[in-house]
Chains A and B, each alone.
Chain A
Amino acid sequence: MANNVHTGNVHSGNIPDERPPSNTVGPVAWLRNNLFNTWYNALLTILIAWLLFKAIPPLLDWLIFSANSFGTPPQVCRQEGGACWTFVSEKLRFVMFGTFPYDEQWRPLITIVIIIALVLASCDRRFWKPWLALVWIAGLTAVGVLMWGGVLGLTYVENTLWGGLPLTLMLSVVGLSVAFPASVLLALGRRSQLPAIRVISVTYIELIRGVPLISLLFMASVMFPLFLPTGVNFDKLLRAQIAFIMFAAAYMAEAIRGGLQAIPKGQYEAADALGLNYWQAMGKIILPQALAISIPPLVNTFISFFKDTSLVIIIGLYDLLGTAKAALSDPAWRGFYREAYLFIGVIYWVFCFSMSKYSQKLERDLRRGHRR
């Protein structure tokens, strides 16, 4: 019996700290605890190690060691077998800017820079002020001027010639920034006390959510013109943009509704009891909390929506994925699809991963505000 563990005794508290047993810390213990703790985990570990051993060296070989550097002609690439990065350098401008007139491609380049700058600025919470809306309007006006031209000495470029990354960015950024406020209104409408507003919101959301995005795009591009009087022509890009906005708004509205439902009734009552009107209560009390809760599902929608812009290819618009496919149809470069898809895959991944990382940071910042 140890002499210090009797009930009723006061512990003096001077037992010195000891090192843990050596078989519970260090890399060997880690391996044993995480990779070889049971016989089936040990088996899985060995199996996966073998697969990695088989897969990684050839992949690295193709990607780097046997790869043909920029400038190697395609014929040489075909014989050598490694990745042919000439495809990327050769087709870079076409993949990025599509059929935009070659000498004017600095315009879509600046467009990309403006849009990314606008998005980055909007990520900083210090800039979440009313004037940010004005900055956006100014930025998007500049984008419109650059892309269309026809003023300030810029030659006019029809929007059927637009393509590549600017198209992807415009469709998704404009789409999301219009769809987001619309979705907030839809979510509030779905929970409204007024039956007419509630019925309209529910019908809209359920109708749009129940239809595949592709069919909505087809309707926008093929069916919609049938309802217009002859001679009236609505821009195809605009129609696709509207279809995207309608679709994204319905999805995001449901994400936000989830957040609204998580706000305790007491918050609504406290806002009411202070004499705040409906819009003040929503704008100052309910939505800031509900939107913070909705960040994970909202970002999920943002990311999938960003990638779904590639569906516009079915109505004949060439976004980033579309231009990459078109580049592959060049007879001289046929067959380099691995390089093409890897390249645009990386571009998509960079954008989506940044969105994900930013949303995690935002969640952390907002949570730091009100620890519970």
Chain B
Amino acid sequence: MTMTQTAGAARSFPQGEPIIQCQGVHKWYGEFHVLKNIDLSVAKGERIVICGPSGSGKSTMIRCLNRLEEHQKGSIIVDGIELTGNLKNIELVRREVGMVFQHFNLFPHLTVLENCTLAPIWVRKKPKAEAEEMAMRYLKRVRIAEQAHKYPGQLSGGQQQRVAIARSLCMSPKVMLFDEPTSALDPEMVKEVLDVMIGLAEDGMTMLCVTHEMGFAKSVADRVIFMDRGEIVEQNTPNEFFNSPQSDRTKLFLSQILNH
């Protein structure tokens, strides 16, 4: 335990102005303690990959950052706003924090373009023409502009996930959360989504990404966080993390996912 904590403190993160600060965050599902004393600070522009065995609380943690899940103890401050029961504050945070889900969660009754313009029009109160222009720009960026007038059900999984990313970007978020964005995809579609995410990272977007794509972690992450049983066990630069993991749990996890 002390060992792992020193490992986590091996380098002090982050090195810039923080946009997300979690202090002593705990969460329970009924009796089950899912998140234990999470301390996390994320700097603007930082790219973080969160990994760990299933059930370790990674998804729950990033879902707490836009209050899709409620934490019961500790504090979470996002973009200078503390997440509490205050609905107005929650909505303010959610405007600035984009989220991409494992199962895309596109709105099936709206076209691709309407999926992208809905929130800018209704939440940001943008004029329709402006919202559409911006949506087309982001759809081009994820290389799917020619499908703008189709419905999500007519697209492949990889295409749907790219639309989901464009939909989030249309809100001009300050932070993007990715919750296992490639886990539900057929293998041949993983790359097209990862390419979009790498492009985003290169443009300096602040990203927190729960993923098992270790290649992605190695090539773009500034920091890799390893979670197990509801706690942050270890965090380090990808280089240090993969080459000299500190805790036994990290070593075990890495040996399981890398040796095949």
Contact = CB atoms under 8 A, between A and B. Distances in A.
Given A274-B167, A275-B91, A369-B151, A284 B122 contact: yes
Contacts of A273: 66, 68, 94, 97-99, 101, 168
A288 B109 contact: yes
Contacts of A280: 122-123
Contacts of A267: 105, 107
A130 B48 CA distance: 46
B34 to A, nearest CB: 17
Nearest to A288: B109
A331 interface: no
Contacts of A122: none
A285 interface: yes
A362 to B, nearest CB: 13
B91 A277 contact: yes
Nearest to B94: A275
Contacts of A271: 107
A221 B72 CA distance: 54
A368 to B, nearest CB: 9
Given A276-B122, A284-B118, A370 B108 contact: yes
Q: How large is the interface on A (under 10, 10 to 19, 20 to 34, 35 or more residues)?
A: 20 to 34
B238 to A, nearest CB: 27
Interface residues of B, number: 28
Given A272-B68, A274-B171, A284-B122, A370 B152 contact: yes
A272 B97 CA distance: 11
B123 A270 contact: no
Contact of B109 (A272, A275, A276, A369): A369
A289 interface: yes
B144 interface: no
A266 interface: yes
A274 B68 contact: no
B150 to A, nearest CB: 10
| Residue from A275, A288, A366, A372 having most chain B Cβ neighbours under 10 A | A275
A140 interface: no
Interface in A258-281: 264, 266-267, 269-277, 280
Interface of B: 66, 68, 87, 91-92, 94-95, 97-99, 101, 103, 105-109, 118-119, 122-123, 151-154, 167-168, 171
Given A264-B105, A273-B68, 8 more contacts: A272-B66, A272-B68, A273-B168, A275-B92, A275-B95, A276-B119, A276-B122, A288-B109
